[in-house]
Each structure stands twice: as C-alpha cells, then as structure tokens.
Amino acid sequence: MQITLSEPLQRFVVKQTAELGLDQPDQYIEQLVEEERRKKRDEYYMEKCREGLASGATIPITSGFWDEIADEVEQELYGIRSKIAQ
C-alpha cells in the first residue's frame, strides 16, 4: 500500500516518528491504525454489553446453569457431527 501525504503532514509524521522513538514513519501510521482498530473493537463490545443489559430481566447464574449450557453445546455438536457423518 502506498499513501501520499501533503508536505505538512509528511513533516508531522516524521516528527511524531522521531518523538516516539520509532525507526520508520510507517510504524507510526501502523500504530495509528491499530489504535483506531482497538477503539472500534471496544466500541463494538461496549454496544453489545449495553444491548445485553437492556435485553430483559437477569437470571441467576449457578453451577447448574453452566451444566445446562454445556449440555446444550454438547447436543448441538452431536447434531453437527451426525450430519457430517451422513
């Protein structure tokens, strides 16, 4: 990928690269992109948490609850395996 920046932006990137102790400007750009990716991921998960909290009444989580979940997953996997084996 090749990116063309205006002269003022090029100077800024070079300055930031040096201030951060990075070797190459592309490392600075990569950090910016990675930071934005993390921000978007965090926003996504926070939204999903909000949706979950607003989705209805809470249920008690007991050891029996986890056993039921494990049984459901096991049954689902058994069904998938059965279909594959046919």
pLDDT at residue 1, as a whole number: 86
Mean pLDDT of 1-16: 96
84 pLDDT more than 90 = no
Between CA 62 and CA 69, with CA 67 as vertex, the angle to 5 degrees is 100
Which of 33, 30, 1, 35 shows the shortest CA–CA distance to 17? 30
**Whole-structure pTM value:** 0.61
**How high does pLDDT run on average in the chain?**
93
In a domain, 76, yes or no: yes
Its domain, for residue 23, covers 7-85
86 pLDDT more than 80 = no
Question: Using an 8 Å Cβ cutoff, are 38 and 32 in contact?
Answer: no
What confidence tier does 15 reach under pLDDT thresholds 50, 70, 90?
very high
DSSP code for 54 = T
In a domain, 1, yes or no: no
> How many domains does the chain divide into?
1
